[in-house]
Structure 1
C-alpha cells in the first residue's frame, strides 16, 4: 500500500536524523508485541513526541492526533497517509473512537496521548478515560510508554528543536479487566486509568533518576 511505503520511507529518514540528533535512548522496546492489537499510551510533552515514538517502535503506529492539525493544507493531506486520524479534544468524539476501535480490530498499533494535552513542565497530567474505554471495548492491551527530554528539546512555541538527550521507556502491558463483550462501566474505566497513571508515573520517575537534574 502507498501509505505503508510512505510510512516506512519517512520512518527510515527520520530515524537516521532524529535518533542521532537527540541521542535517543530507548528501553524495553522488546516489550512491544510483534503482532496483534495494542494501545500505546504515551505521556505528552512536545510536538516531537509522535515522531520519536514512531521511529523507535518497530511496527506502524496509527496515531490519534488533534483535529486542528488536519486543517493545515499540506499537513492535513499528509497525516492520513501515515495512518494518523483526527480527534476533537474536550468532547466525546464518536468518530475518533470508531476509527481507533476499527484499527484495533484489524490488529494494528494505535498511539494515544491519554493526558489529552501537552504537559508544560514534564509532570504527568491527569489521565483521561478515553484510553481505558478503548481498551475495555476492544480487548486490546495498553502499553505505557514514557518519554522525557522533548519538553526541553522543543517546548510549546519553539520553532526549532534544541539538541537535548531524549529517553523513551516502555512499561508492562496492562490487560483489560473485562472481555470486550462486557459493559465498560465507569468503575472499570477508572481503575484501568489509575493503573495506567501509576505505570506511567513509575516510568517517568525511573527516567528522571537516570537523567539527573538539568540533563541536556
Structure 2
C-alpha cells in the first residue's frame, strides 16, 4: 500500500482508539467502574460494538489502556515541569515534587484506583518515576545541594513515599507544606564535630 494510505489508516485507528478511551473515561467519571460495559463504551464513542471489539476484547482492557494513557500523560507532564523550570537541580526537583504531589492530591485513591493500579503498566511507570527523581537527586548531590550520606535511589523512594500522603490531605496549602518538609529532608547532612 502507498505510504499516504498507511498513514491515513494509522491516523484513523489512533483517532478511534482515543475516542474509545475518552468514552471510557467519561463513563467511569459519571457512573463508576462497575457500571462500565462494552455497549456503553461503543455508544458513547459513537462507534459500533463490532468496531469496538476490533480494538479491545473487553471493558477491563479498555480501562487498562485508558489508565496507561493517563499515567503516561502524568509522566510527560513531570518531564515538562522539569525541563521548563529555570535554575539548578534543587529548583527543578522542587517543581517536579510539587507537580507530583498535586497529581497525588487530585487522585486520592479508593477502590477504583486500587483496581486500576494493578496492571503491569503501573510498575513500569513507578520505576520510570523513581529513576527520573534519582537522576535529579544525583545531580543535586554532585552539586552539594542534596545530602550525600544517602544514595539518590533511596532518596527518590523517600520522596515518593512521603508525597503519597498528599492523596489524603485536605488542601493545596497542606500539599505545599508536605513538599517543603520533603525538600528539607533532602538537604545536606549536618556536619558532625
Taking CA–CA contacts closer than 8 Å with sequence separation of 6 or more, which of the two structures ends up with the larger relative contact order? 1
State if a TM-score over 0.5 links the two structures.
no
| CA radius of gyration, larger in | 2
Q: Which protein has the bigger helix share?
A: 2
TM-score (norm. length: structure 2): 0.28
TM-score (norm. length: structure 1): 0.26
Q: Which protein has the bigger strand share?
A: 1
